[in-house]
Amino acid sequence: MTYDVHIIGGGLAGTEAAWQLGKRGFKVRLSEMRGTGERSPAHQGDGLAELVCSNSLRSDDDTANAVGLLHYEMRALDSLIMRAADKARVPAGSALAVDRDVFSDTIEAELTALPNLTLTRERIDTLPDAGLTIVATGPLTAASLAEKIGAATGADSLAFFDAIAPIVYAETVNMDIAWRAARWDKGAEASFALGSDGKDYINCPMNKAEYLAFREELLSGEKTVFKEWEANTPYFDGCMPIEVMAERGEDTLRFGPMKPVGLDDPRSVSEKFPKGRWPYAVVQLRQDNKLGTLFNMVGFQTKLKYAEQTRVFRMIPGLENAEFARLGGLHRNTFLNSPTLLDRQLRLKSSPHIRFAGQITGCEGYVESASVGMLAGIMTACELAGRDWAEPPRTTALGALLAHITGDAEADTYQPMNINFGLFPPIVTEKKIKKPARKLVYTERAKADLAPWLAGIA
């Protein structure tokens, strides 16, 4: 089959772009390297849109959270990623967490059912000289293609380290010590709607002595050694290794991923504390699959060596006999200096038949990656149909993220960015809006401005 668009990369951005084009009747060739016997250092299998780090697409609250608003906007555009996430959803309070296998299988089934889409398992080593192309190879682009992208852009790609958290078999958690509750006792309503009792997280408590001993082992445990060419590569703050956070101060973890606020330990109930007391620190585990057999360690991305992970993490009360379905890891990501290299339609300025999408553009996060793939697909569909492309309003999450990638950010200091309200135009009012209400004002404005734009997108 001849094709209208060639999409390179079958991750979140590539599959979303393929869906947006394919459902509009355009012929798509989707090339994915996995399935040829090759994989990136972070991938475990050959399924499309594999989630390699967390299984969470973060908050699904579209009234007080920027990523929840992005969920809302993507659903309004019939996002395949959001459709699959809703089908694969597992209890996680107000967060949208998914069963990884159901999520990937749903996406692959939906795409392969499109009669005008051809999925080809192949490695692409060069950028096409002609023909509309979307490059969505992600932060782990194969070295051969990365070299060609570097040559085409005339600039070295920037890089940072991303880390993966371990996954524990639920049956190996000692529930005589651990207990279940909502994350910081928030978001139970969302879980009730899914048929859960709202107690979606397993909590492993620590007293002060246990916490200090654990932190000491995090600091002294044997770590992955960087190669010489990786030595000056920074971490992305959103996936900071747990031991790197521990280096920043004795209480950094207690005010971060091990924060005990709102978590009443039912085993500490007394007359003075009828609900129980908060532990000194807590490790939380979040459900990772629909069966509830796997839980990942929230915020525990790590560069500890495998043997050290097993030893150190079994110091956590409740995990003394834990068995790990997957241990944590560290991988190097790359991204373009997009404000310099790409135009407002994500096209490479030096070769405008090529668009880039997803994390390689410098967005960070599953949902952000998929949303940029969505935009690239819709932009390309407009081009093929001979229609003018209208940018989403900058007051929307889609518009704010696109503007950041393609020009609002300072090129000299460009770094990967999650969607956040700091990317949105400020709210201008005569009276100062108090912080709790500000986010609602942002989301209400975005939804109002999104509606007329949606009417013009076929």
Token digits of residue 454: 């949606």
Token readout for 222 is 């044997």
Closest alpha carbon to 33 in 131, 144, 110: 144
Q: 352: closest CA among 33, 150, 135? A: 135
14 assigned ligand-binding residue: yes
* Residue 13 marked ligand-binding: yes
Maximum distance among all Cα pairs of the chain, rounded to whole angstroms: 75
> Which residues pair with residue 197 across a beta bridge?
none
Q: Quote the CA–CA distance of 346 and 361 in Å, as a whole number.
A: 8
299 labelled as ligand-binding? no
CA–CA dist 252, 243 (Å, integer):
11
**Which 3 state secondary structure label does DSSP give 33?**
coil
Q: Is 386 annotated as a binding residue?
A: no
With left for phi above 0 and alpha for psi between -120 and 50, is residue 292 left, alpha or beta? left
| Cβ proximity of 71 and 60 under 8 Å | yes
CA-based R_g, the chain, Å: 22
Distance CA 446, CA 438 (A): 12
Say whether 221 counts as a known binding-site residue: no
109: how many CB neighbours lie within 10 A of its CB?
11
Query: What is the rounded CA–CA span in Å between residue 393 and residue 372?
Result: 15
Residue 35 assigned to a binding site: no
Binding site for FAD, residues? Answer: 9-14
Binding site, residues? Answer: 9-14
